Amino acid sequence: MAKPADTRTAGRKPVAKATRSAAETEKIRAALAARRDELRAEYDQTLSEITELQRDRLTDSAGDDQADTGTKTFEREQEISLANSIKERITQVERALERLDEGGYGWCERCGNPIPVERLAAFPSATLCVTCKQLEERR
């Protein structure tokens, strides 16, 4: 049986203008992975809260008036939208990790400088360094 040719690495151009050390890349990876785990825990917790709210709604609804039912539905919808936004953030972090592997993550889109690890950990979707971000906001 013939081995399939490895086309994954062929034709991939490095995007980064500057270089970041392997140690720095590892630090970013660790920060992103920690963030992802944190978000996953948060997501699981939100899901169990939704399940609980749902259970409450089903078991206590007999004595509820319409206002109570409305409040519970509202709370549940809030939890669901929270869960969705957490899930979106998890996806962002996962994409960031993929881009990091490709060498295209963590560089300021404007000045090409590396974005500090702390900033990336806090805002995995950041595409600008703090200085450029401030300039952008001032416009």
The per-residue b/e assignment along 73-95, b for 16 or more CB within 10 angstroms, e otherwise, is eeebeebeeebeebeebbebbee
Write down how long the chain is.
139
Cβ nearer to Zn ion, comparing 80 with 121: 121
Cβ nearer to Zn ion, comparing 83 with 129: 129
Per the CB < 8 A criterion, the answer to whether 98 and 12 are in contact is: no
Residue span binding Zn ion (CB under 5 A) among the ranges 3-11, 53-61, 78-86, 100-108: 100-108
Binding of residue 16 to Zn ion (CB under 5 A): no
Half-sphere exposure of 14 (CA within 13 A, CB side): 7
Shortest distance, position 109 Cβ to Zn ion, whole Å:
8
Binding of residue 80 to Zn ion (CB under 5 A): no
x/- letters, 101..130, toward Zn ion (CB under 5 A): -------x-xx-----------------x-
Round to whole Å and give the CA distance between 112 and 129.
9
Among 16, 97, 121, 132, binds Zn ion (CB under 5 A): 132
Round to whole Å and give the CA distance between 18 and 35.
25
Q: What is the contact surface with Zn ion in residues (CB under 5 A)?
A: 108, 110-111, 129, 132
